[in-house]
Amino acid sequence: MTILSRRGFLVTGSATAGLLVGVGLPASAAPPSTSVKGFTPNAFVHIGEDGQVTLTMPYVEMGQGTYTSIPMLVAEELEIPLSRVRLEHAPPDEKIYGNPLLAGVQATGGSTAIMASWKPLREAGAVARTLLIQAAAEQWKVASDTCRATAGEVIHAPSGRRASYGTLAATAARLPVPQDVPLKDPKAFKLIGTPAKRLDSGGKVNGTAVFGIDARPPGVKVATLAQSPVFGGRLKRVDDRAATAVKGVRQIVRLDDAVAVVADHMGAALKGLAALEIEWDDGTHRQVSNGQVVRQLEQATLASGPVAEKIGDVTTALASAPTKVEAIYQVPFLAHATMEPMNCTVHVRPGGCDVWVGTQVAARAQAAAARVTGLPLEKVLLHQHLIGGGFGRRLEIDGVARATEIAMKVAGPVKVVWTREEDIRHDMYRPYWLDRMSAGLDGEGRPVAWNHRFAGSSVIARWLPPGFSKGLDPDSVDGAVNLAYDLPNKQVEFLRVEPPGIPTAFWRSVGPSHNVFVVESFMDELAAAARQDPVAYRLALLDKAPRAKAVLALAAQKAGWGETLPPGAGRGVSLQSVFGSYLALVAEIAVAADKSVRVRRVVAAVDCGTVVNPNTVRAQIESGVNFGITAALYGEITVKDGMVEQSNFDDYRMLRIDEAPVIEVHIVPSTESPGGMGEPGTSAIVPAVANAVFAATGRRLRKMPVNLESA
């Protein structure tokens, strides 16, 4: 498979490529391929007269497998083998490619792509199939219902006539597009539910896959930059004499709060950057520190806040409960640290602008460049690319705006590449959250009152302002409300408190990345207070939630829950119902003599509804779990004197292969609508690890990351 730009498609016409040729060209924002001869029944599917099926992908590939699972939906209904589908990145156009589950923003995030595509993309394929059948029936002067589609052909069995989709494309293109078409009975699925191979692997194993950072428009210069180390600081003075003397350095670009070195290649740009003598005006955030943030959150949570969920009467129930449990939980700021550092290539010309970038928000990226240049939207051509790790970082357009600011001052195209240090110190961070939990247990140890009050940044309030209403937003409380557990008296309150000067953003598993840790750790505390087994304790609260109960029971059974482990080892469990999927994890950890923690084995049981591609489900659980273990064991961004203290993989540590657990995934068959799988593993593993540490050591970890050395 190749992924072609619309321009590439026009140029190469009927060029075909084998499965292993790989992802090639970036997509451009040219208008839909109506100029290409063929049949375009909707914004997603195009069938050329040569029979080539091209799918315009509304969601972008960043590792999660969407460039395989979404084509499967279309190919299933269109009755073609998956290998026949060629992909194009969608151009920026929110009216056509907006995500219905993210308020119409053209965004890939929140584990929504399959949920959002499940009906529309199958319909896109079914409409095309229906029209191709009609076209054949018309040509043959037979009834449509005597024809059927299979393997890229329409067949009229009674007469033995057959016609390929390509030969029918011109006729089909003239037919009116039907409003309602029948979708296939799931029992007839040939492709959905099979472990079809990823379509994007070929180019990713031979170096031909093109990420944003690989864009090389003719004449491109490379720039790297330094931004004010203190949040919100300004550039005061730069001595660039030594930098401009570096071979290959072409230009120094000064912005209000940053300075960039433009060079023939990144090596020269880096050398030039190191040679700059920069003075900053630190501005007003010099005093900002983690301690200040924590005090702010502690203070805020002393008072009650907007109520996100209220069941029964938690105050009365708490007052009368024989046993009370209270705890304060905290989770740190986290950086995304995508393997592909932030980058964006921009060419500002008189009257136009090109942007080459891998972005989770194509339309917003285009708009950002338009805003900076003052150009109308249609003059900004966005070339979408594969994404070398998103995790929410590329739901933001600060990098596009920054690169465009630099490009405004450079003649010709310039690729702006963040150093890893700049990438980590000028990320937009997973918020710090602080939670006050209190619960009351009855005489049998069952929770009769559950009170959860927490404070932190609302990413939604900035990212999608209408989503923040009456002091609440759906993401901040996701994983805290609508729990699977039967809790007769429950209250959840959220207080929006923005950290001074520290930008926050979505981070893989978003709201649940924090809430599931708190809820599942506290549930473990309640089981301990009740002197009950953590799995049995949870199961007893799940009679009204059979899917949740089933995954928990399955994970426990497969993990050998209750079997003896050697000293220093422990098992911990977690259960969650977020992103439309049910996931239970059992983590097995071992504590070494130096008190470091190693996760040895993770057993997952998942019910994500109808499985489109079981291999993707497994891969995303493996991925999400390892991502979450990095956070649980090592993840912490700290701010001191208004600056982020971490800078690279030596002080912002990543899980490595020698530290990664064996991961087993068990999928519960289901005919429910599909749920999301890109993120659940990340939120679920953190409490499973913390609970396993408790089982091994008796130490309850209420603050991430895991640290057994502190008192």
Which is closer to other proteins, CB of 420 or CB of 703?
A: 420
Contact 290, 398 (CB under 8 A): no
Q: How far apart are CA 583 and CA 581, in angstroms?
A: 6
Shortest Cβ distance from residue 278 to other proteins (Å)? 19
Shortest Cβ distance from residue 353 to other proteins (Å)? 22
The two beta strands, 380-384 and 414-417, are unpaired
Calculate the CA 674 to chain-centre distance: 17
Which is closer to other proteins, CB of 217 or CB of 501?
A: 217
Shortest Cβ distance from residue 460 to other proteins (Å)? 25
Shortest Cβ distance from residue 659 to other proteins (Å)? 8
Which is closer to other proteins, CB of 139 or CB of 201?
A: 201
Which is closer to other proteins, CB of 390 or CB of 456?
A: 390
Shortest Cβ distance from residue 57 to other proteins (Å)? 15
Shortest Cβ distance from residue 93 to other proteins (Å)? 25
Return the bridge partners of 496, or none.
456
Which is closer to other proteins, CB of 494 or CB of 627?
A: 627
Shortest Cβ distance from residue 101 to other proteins (Å)? 22
Shortest Cβ distance from residue 420 to other proteins (Å)? 5
Which is closer to other proteins, CB of 243 or CB of 625?
A: 625
- The C-alpha angle with vertex 386 and arms to 380 and 388, in degrees rounded to 5, equals 120
Q: How far apart are CA 97 and CA 572, in angstroms?
A: 41
Picking from 633, 652, 600, the residue whose alpha carbon sits closest to that of residue 707 is: 633
Which is closer to other proteins, CB of 223 or CB of 367?
A: 223
Q: How far apart are CA 294 and CA 475, in angstroms?
A: 21
What are the tokens at 403?
Answer: 């690169």
Contact 579, 676 (CB under 8 A): yes
Contact 87, 67 (CB under 8 A): yes
Peptide bond just before 503 cis, omega within 30 deg:
no
Calculate the CA 7 to chain-centre distance: 28
Give the footprint of other proteins on this chain (CB under 8 A). 20, 61-65, 197-198, 200-211, 213-214, 216, 222, 246-248, 264-268, 270-271, 337-341, 386-391, 417, 419-420, 615, 619, 622-627, 629-630, 648-650, 654-660, 662-663
Which is closer to other proteins, CB of 123 or CB of 423?
A: 423
Question: In degrees rounded to 5, what are phi and psi of residue 658?
Answer: -75, -10
Which is closer to other proteins, CB of 203 or CB of 440?
A: 203
Which is closer to other proteins, CB of 391 or CB of 485?
A: 391
The three-state (H, E, C) secondary structure of 110-178, written as one string: CCCHHHHHCCHHHHHHHHHHHHHHHHHHHHHCCCHHHEEEECCEEEECCCCEEEEHHHHHHHHHHCCCC
Shortest Cβ distance from residue 110 to other proteins (Å)? 17
Shortest Cβ distance from residue 650 to other proteins (Å)? 6
Shortest Cβ distance from residue 62 to other proteins (Å)? 5
Contacts (Cβ under 8 Å, ≥6 apart) of 470:
306
Which is closer to other proteins, CB of 593 or CB of 657?
A: 657
Q: Return the half-sphere exposure (C-beta side, CA atoms, 13 A cut-off) of residue 671.
A: 4
Contact 146, 161 (CB under 8 A): no
Shortest Cβ distance from residue 335 to other proteins (Å)? 11
Q: Is 684 helix (H, G, I), strand (E, B) or coil?
A: helix
Which is closer to other proteins, CB of 356 or CB of 522?
A: 356
Q: Is the four-CA dihedral 175, 179, 185, 191 of positive or negative sign?
A: positive
Return the bridge partners of 279, or none.
237
Which is closer to other proteins, CB of 222 or CB of 406?
A: 222
Contact 362, 91 (CB under 8 A): yes
Q: How far apart are CA 421 and CA 649, in angstroms?
A: 9
Q: How far apart are CA 387 and CA 57, in angstroms?
A: 14
Contact 447, 502 (CB under 8 A): no
Shortest Cβ distance from residue 505 to other proteins (Å)? 16
